[in-house]
Structure 1
Amino acid sequence: MPSVKSRREEYAEATRQALLDAGADLFAERGYAATSIEDVVREARVTRGALYHHFRSKQELFEAVFEDVELGIVDKIVAAVATQSDAWSQAMAGIDAYLDLCLDPRTQELALRQAPIALGWTRWREIEERHALGLIRAQVESLTAAGLIRRRSPDLLSGILFGALIEAALAIAAAEDRSQARQEAGEIIRSLSEALR
């Protein structure tokens, strides 16, 4: 039998979500450094104490915002992969979905620009790897099992592909013409993928 949440639990969840939403909006609009705790609590319409009940610091709040962004990215990639029936098409759909998401200004700002600043390069990579690397590894294993790519170290190959996709994402975010950069990045990643067949 499902448990019924108390009003206090519902209020706590609503407060946490309000903080995440306010933080995401402000970090995307102003950047991590230019957003203060006071800005977040004012935007969320909660007290400073409420923020510190859920998050120990602005950095911890940002990390939770970034985790939400990453989970959203994963959900969209999984949905794109699910539309395809064979392993190769699934892998290409996943790549295309990821690169398309890199065109979204909010994703660019939070995941590619602000996250390395707010969390530091190492922590940013750890979170990226936890979400993206698992998807890539699953696709590598699927392609190998289907006989579409030669058997190699799945960890090494997944890591190399992960690196290529992150660099493509950063290039798209930094480009003057992002649509053109996305198209070129897609062509390059597809060419690299074809070379593995």
Structure 2
Amino acid sequence: MGRRALMMEETRARLIRTARKAFAEKGFAAASMDELTAEAGLTRGALYHNFGDKKGLLRAVIEQIDAEMLARTGLVRDRAASRWQSLLDEGAAYIEMALEPEIQRIMLLDGPAVLGDPSQWPNQMACLRTTTQALQALIDDGTIKPVDAEAAARLLNGAALNASLWVAASKDPAAVLGKAVEAFRLLAGGLLNQAAA
């Protein structure tokens, strides 16, 4: 990578790092572009050049956080005793992350308000493919009932996402979390073959 490309990557990284902190502490609406760029030691032009606008910067921050969340749920999946348990644990872990202030504010409150329906974000489509593949493997080995894997993946992912949004927006997130995870596990359990249950 050339010197110019390295400088551009560093500029992007500084803007994302600074914005992530500001969005988590102040929220998207209250985070000033002038303060963001000053804190990063850059100009507004650098922000516009790299991200188009503040909304583009939020999208980049969300992509970074989402990649971290995906890595964390992947670790949960890898530790599970079975494919079925990994599916349940991964969904529960995703919902539990809604208790974390940064994820709550940026991913679950400001992100949907600014960028629209999170189920349509590119990262959700990648997650959908992974869940569909996991469900197809569970269908193939007889763990779950024969069902359209994509339809089941959309419903399970939607349940986890909506549970997370509910936890994040509630007045008592910790109390809502237990109810949300229990309901998610029970809903998913409806897919199990009687012999596997």
TM over 0.5: yes
- The answer (yes or no) to whether the contact 2:119–2:158 under 8 Å persists in 1 is no
Tell me which amino acid in the other structure corresponds to 1:189.
F
**Cα deviation digits, residues 120-160 of structure 1 (max 9, x gap):** 23xx3311522432332232123212211111111211111
Matched, 1:11 2:7: yes
| Secondary structure at the counterpart of residue 151 of structure 1 | coil
TM-score (norm 1): 0.90
| Secondary structure at the counterpart of residue 58 of structure 2 | helix
Tell me which amino acid in the other structure corresponds to 2:32.
S
The runs of at least 4 consecutive aligned structure 1 residues that moved more than 4 Å come to none
| Equivalenced residues, count | 191
Tell me which amino acid in the other structure corresponds to 1:106.
E
* Aligned-partner Cα distance in 2 for 1:169–1:53: 33
| Secondary structure at the counterpart of residue 99 of structure 2 | coil
**Cα deviation digits, residues 30-77 of structure 1 (max 9, x gap):** 222222221210121111222222111111111111111111111111
In structure 1, the residue matched to 2:174 is: 179
Give unpaired runs (5+ residues) of structure 1: none
Partner of residue 133 from structure 1, selected from 118, 128, 132 = 128
Partner of residue 116 from structure 1, selected from 112, 115, 129 = 112
* Aligned-partner Cα distance in 2 for 1:89–1:101: 18
- The answer (yes or no) to whether the contact 1:150–1:196 under 8 Å persists in 2 is yes
- The answer (yes or no) to whether the contact 1:74–1:131 under 8 Å persists in 2 is no
In structure 1, the residue matched to 2:160 is: 165
Tell me which amino acid in the other structure corresponds to 1:182.
L
TM-score (norm 2): 0.90
Tell me which amino acid in the other structure corresponds to 2:26.
R
- Give me the CA root mean square deviation: 1.5
Matches within 5 A, 1:74-153: 74-121=70-117, 124-127=118-121, 129-153=124-148
Return the offset for 1:191: 0.8
* Aligned-partner Cα distance in 2 for 1:95–1:162: 8
